[in-house]
Structure 1
């Protein structure tokens, strides 16, 4: 919604090389996207970067753009060389909302029948860590999209808001739900009922974002974070991400039980054995994502 119109020996194995080559060919042969830019960043090219690219519309979200984001996310998820994904916009706007023109003439039957906005949450289904690098406006659908990511880094001039109430509707892609879980009922209620924006500094103090950075350094900081995560086992990182996400849906006792079972599950992996062995032998682990 919104308010705008692996290590060297691993790489040498045939299976890894073939899969990496296949993914690279798929990425290079894929048709060029119209509304987003996709590249790999980091010293090892192991962080995928998706940039929303509708500058004239302040990156307003609409179905074609979100379909491209979902497609790019899946391509990067299937690429074994990619450890994490960064999603960003421009310094002026991460995404200033959903495209109102797309919604203006819709009726209840249209929205209900097509389950409007349902496929916009594709980001939440990605197993690899997704980091939102938010500069400028993140309003309505833009704020909701950022909250679908696992970690949010903000530029010093970023603004967050759920202004749907101003145009006679409410958030429809998680604004009332994820925002409440992130910053609490009272603050979420205030943002949703007034439509007012909050600054990056407020968002940081309220727990909506994990850190704030100078605008021109934001994406680089997000890439560095992705690289830091990339030093660990991709398999275990995905397992840990799943456990953290479950905390938002389960009771404490259910969540603790789920966490314990995932913890037990790591003992079936080669990377858990390698990680502990490397620690005991006082050397760096050589994870194989298996």
Structure 2
């Protein structure tokens, strides 16, 4: 049986491709298990994660065949919720490269990323109430942070699906690229991240994700650690030497 998540491991990044073409990359239990396994790896060996989908689709949603059979205990277990929270909490940035459908659970996986880019063909949203359920794997708390309360309410309460251009306008995507250049654009973002100090990137993500009531103390503690790091001294010395040579 084919793996639902194809993983390309590199020194400074990992590309994970949702690959269930027969169901438009719908997220089933095997996909969730594979995401947990990948998160365990990246928690131990932090690298940038690029999430994408095969066949011109990110993920059409949760696997409805499995979802239909789940009961109250399954809902309380938060099967997708816990996997997506783990993705969001990874030490290094997560980039979602979204093409085609990103619906329901697929959209919620994209919302868990730190950076989202897409194509004009994107169709993203949460039509869950049309299936008799709610978007319970992150949309109700992540969407308001991403697009504001009013727009989040419109998406979640009406089941509206945004095009790529609308998602860009709303700030749900940060850039649009042609489908054949989407992965290259994701790698370009990863290249920019790779040029930075990894610990400074990790600490920046920690501060970005921290609860409001922890600011500004958390930034000062993270900065205190960085101020003592050899890499800070090395990079600042190199900057000053480059500036001096230009004079």
Q: Taking structure 1 as the reference length, what is the TM-score of the superposition?
A: 0.78
Contact between 2:81 and 2:136, CA under 8 Å: does it hold in 1?
Answer: no
Deviates more, 1:131-140 or 1:70-79: 70-79
- Segments of structure 2 that go 5 or more residues without pairing to the other structure are none
Instruction: Pick 1 or 2: higher relative contact order, CA cutoff 8 A, min separation 6.
Output: 1
CA RMSD after TM alignment: 1.9
The alpha-carbon distance between structure 1 residues 40 and 109, as it changes in their structure 2 partners (threshold 3 A), is closer
Please name the residue that 1:16 is paired with: none
- Segments of structure 1 that go 5 or more residues without pairing to the other structure are 1-31, 284-290
**Pick from 36, 40, 45: which aligns with 1:74?**
40
Please name the residue that 2:236 is paired with: 276
Please name the residue that 2:227 is paired with: 267
Contact between 1:52 and 1:90, CA under 8 Å: does it hold in 2?
Answer: yes
Secondary structure of 1:94's aligned partner: coil
Please name the residue that 1:173 is paired with: 137
Please name the residue that 2:66 is paired with: 102
Q: How many residues align?
A: 242
Q: Deviations over 1:181-200 (max 9, x none)?
A: 10011111111111110011
**Pick from 237, 256, 279: which aligns with 2:201?**
237
Q: Taking structure 2 as the reference length, what is the TM-score of the superposition?
A: 0.91
* Matching of residue 117 in structure 1 with residue 77 in structure 2: no
Where do 4+ consecutive residues of structure 1 move more than 6 Å? none
Secondary structure of 2:189's aligned partner: helix
Q: Deviations over 1:195-228 (max 9, x none)?
A: 1100111111111111111111001110111011
